[in-house]
Chain A
Amino acid sequence: MIAYIVLLALRFSNELPAQGGLLDLPPMRIWEWKMAAQTLTEKILARHSGKSSVEPGENIWVDVDILMTHDVCGPGTIGVFHQNFGREAKVWDKDKVVIIPDHYIFTADKMANRNVDVLRQFVKEQGLPHYYDVGSERYKGVCHIALPEEGHTRPGEILLGTDSHTCTAGAFGEFATGIGNTDAGFVMGTGKTWLKVPPTLRFVFKGDMPPYLMAKDLILAVIGDIGCDGATYQAMEFDGEGVYALNIEERMTLCNMAIEAGGKNGIIAADQKTIDFVKSRDKASKPFLVEKSDAGARFARELVYDVRTLRPVVAKPHSPDNRAYVDECKGTKLDRAYIGSCTGGKMTDFRAAAKILAGKEVKIDTFVVPATTEVARNLKTEKLGNHTLEEIFLNAGAKIGEASCAACLGGPSDTFGRLNQAIRCISTTNRNFPGRMGHKQAEVFLASPLTVAASALTGLITDPREFLS
């Protein structure tokens, strides 16, 4: 009831756009409100469609809070927008469009550079305030990490982005999912989109996390259990004390890989850690609504994990659901290690890797790519013992690249760390379908930063427990 009163207050203070008009949605009426138990995802979607409750399978039109695009899908989205709304049209709300070039940045590829120019021109024409230009002080790097760093993620909101890993932002208790250029062009002009309400799968993690495990192990275990299509069209809600013990970055890793199980969104209800993080980052201090799934909400399926019994996990080539425990494939010979991306290039990931690499030398080519420029700066200042994390990586013989998506998705042939030959790589990234990191005969093993760092030291798939005392 309190949430509803807050909601009404928000409606009357125009925080929520009035319904009706363009898409002729019915206004919300107080007498429609009833105590239907709902999941967090259902609550957010209901509120954004002006309904008191929604059912899985229902098609609804929702108001979008943030639309994000980047250099790979931005030019196509802008093309769709111009073609359908006119060359002189303005975006529906300048404050709600966020453009973050991050994919093909440090490359000599002329077409890739041209695409950043397309973004730049659009931002100039539209006067968009939330643009993080390449070559400027504002340049950030990987969009999914830049969004929360720059205060664009808030509990209770709907965030859509032209990137499948947009689901990362579910870690902030919001509905976040990836869309294509056409959908994004539509949102850009109207602020609205249609969505099918997904049923919710619930994943409960019990127990205290052992020091040799990371969120990456948990999510690879889940994907191994349900398959890379196991959550298709469904929401994945993560819950339990094992989840709430995780820091915000680890929660982002969990939600980031919901898409690798086919999930529509990953979501974790906000707690005090979330609220503190969001408040510390949102310069505009926009109000937000903290909600959680009701007791009695209907979950399509519930899986319970005791994290104390899990072991370090890898996903073998060529699918994120090709799970094996590290102790089952240890000794597999490797050519390269890669630590970076939205799922494995945050400070928590580098702290973990540094713990293993400190004072040692890698045996194989090891590439370190901070997700954002903020992470890159922190690598230069944060210390473990007497050395900064950057010094630890360089002293170990790793190469450090510039903040961007880099080789996570291959990219142009001069991309830092790209697999240009049919070699075998262990990586903290999130996807290992054929060709994902470059060469289509290359083999990619996905693993936690701890496992990747331990494997870099031996040149073989290695259990991090061997290096953790």
Chain B
Amino acid sequence: MKLENIIQGKAYVLGDNIDTDQIIPAEFLTLNPAIAEEYRQFGRHALAGVPPAQGGLPKGHVLFHKNETDLVSDYQIIVGGRNFGCGSSREHAPIALDAAGIKAVVAEFYARIFYRNAVNGGYIVPAETAERLCEKVCTGDELRINLEACIMENLTTGEKYSLRPLGEVVPILEAGGVFPYARSKGMLPS
């Protein structure tokens, strides 16, 4: 993934403590993300562990994939609450979101291993907001994130929300992950 300043897409809203078992249940960890075709398959199982009532807030019971066999979701931005990505260290979690077509997650804060994996693997943008957006944004709303301006606009409602600056992880995200970053800095031979 290359970091794009503008990220626009439909929102899929989740609550607090969305752990990595919900993002990608353990039964699918037999797929090896190092194999391109299996990487794509993770997209189909992304968010498969979210209990139906908690998927697609505020109503819930909103499917993340239109059809069960779809690899890619119609949604491009996930809005979550507190402690997004807690639990297991599995990098398959940001991988599954990336494979499902998610470009960014906007949450109040992240569990540290998920955040690190998202950045170092260059899979998705883990944006943070001081506002509790999982109670303001509705699943299906069209969102537009401007990373440089640290603003997210809800095009459906016209509301604007401020995002925290991504700070020191920007160069890693811009490079596309920790390996390209380390090469660009001469830490690793290119």
Contact = CB atoms under 8 A, between A and B. Distances in A.
A112 B31 CA distance: 8
Given A109-B30, A319-B17, A433-B17, A178 B111 contact: no
Interface stretch (B85-93, B98-106, B157-165): B85-93
A73 B83 contact: no
Contacts of A83: 34
A262 B88 CA distance: 11
Interface size, A (range): 35 or more
Interface stretch (B67-75, B133-141, B175-183): B175-183
B contacts with A: majority SS: loop
A191 to B, nearest CB: 13
A78 interface: yes
Interface string B20-39: 01100111011111110000
Contacts of B87: 164, 259, 431, 433, 436
Nearest to A23: B187
Contact of A228 (B17, B25, B178): B17
A83 B39 CA distance: 15
A327 to B, nearest CB: 26
Contacts of B21: 409-410, 431, 433-436
Nearest to A430: B87
Of A104, A232, A233, most buried by chain B (CB within 10 Å of CB) is: A232
Contacts, number: 151
B11 interface: no
A180 B117 contact: yes
A232 B111 contact: yes
Interface stretch (A181-189, A240-248, A447-455): A181-189
Interface in A13-48: 22-24
A413 interface: yes
B32 A115 contact: yes
A435 B112 contact: no
B144 interface: no
A183 B109 contact: no
Contact of A409 (B35, B88, B91, B188): B88
B145 interface: no
Interface size, B (range): 35 or more
Given A72-B29, A79-B32, A180-B120, A163 B89 contact: yes
A411 B27 contact: yes
A373 interface: no
Interface in A139-192: 162-164, 166, 178-183, 185-186, 189-190
B111 A229 contact: yes
Nearest to B30: A111
A343 to B, nearest CB: 14
A319 B120 CA distance: 27
Contacts of B177: 182
A80 interface: yes
Contact of A181 (B31, B35, B91, B187): B91
A344 interface: no
A259 B54 CA distance: 24
Nearest to A196: B112
Contacts of A59: 168
B109 to A, nearest CB: 7
B120 A182 contact: yes
B91 A111 contact: no
A341 B50 CA distance: 24
Given A434-B49, A440-B49, A75 B34 contact: yes
Interface string A233-259: 100000000000000000000000001
B123 to A, nearest CB: 9
Contacts of A401: none
Given A179-B113, A186-B178, A431-B87, A111 B27 contact: no
B34 A433 contact: no
B111 A179 contact: no
Contacts of B82: 229
Contacts of B29: 72, 103-104
Of B109, B111, B112, most buried by chain A (CB within 10 Å of CB) is: B112
Contacts of A78: 34
Nearest to A262: B111
Given A79-B34, A186-B179, A180 B112 contact: no
Contacts of A412: 27, 30
Given A232-B111, A434-B22, A76 B89 contact: no
A115 B38 CA distance: 13
Contacts of B111: 229, 232, 262
A79 B92 CA distance: 13
Contacts of B54: 434
A190 to B, nearest CB: 7
B90 A72 contact: yes
B182 to A, nearest CB: 7
Contacts of A259: 87
12 contacts: A23-B187, A59-B168, A72-B90, A73-B89, A180-B113, A180-B120, A181-B91, A182-B120, A186-B182, A229-B83, A436-B21, A440-B25
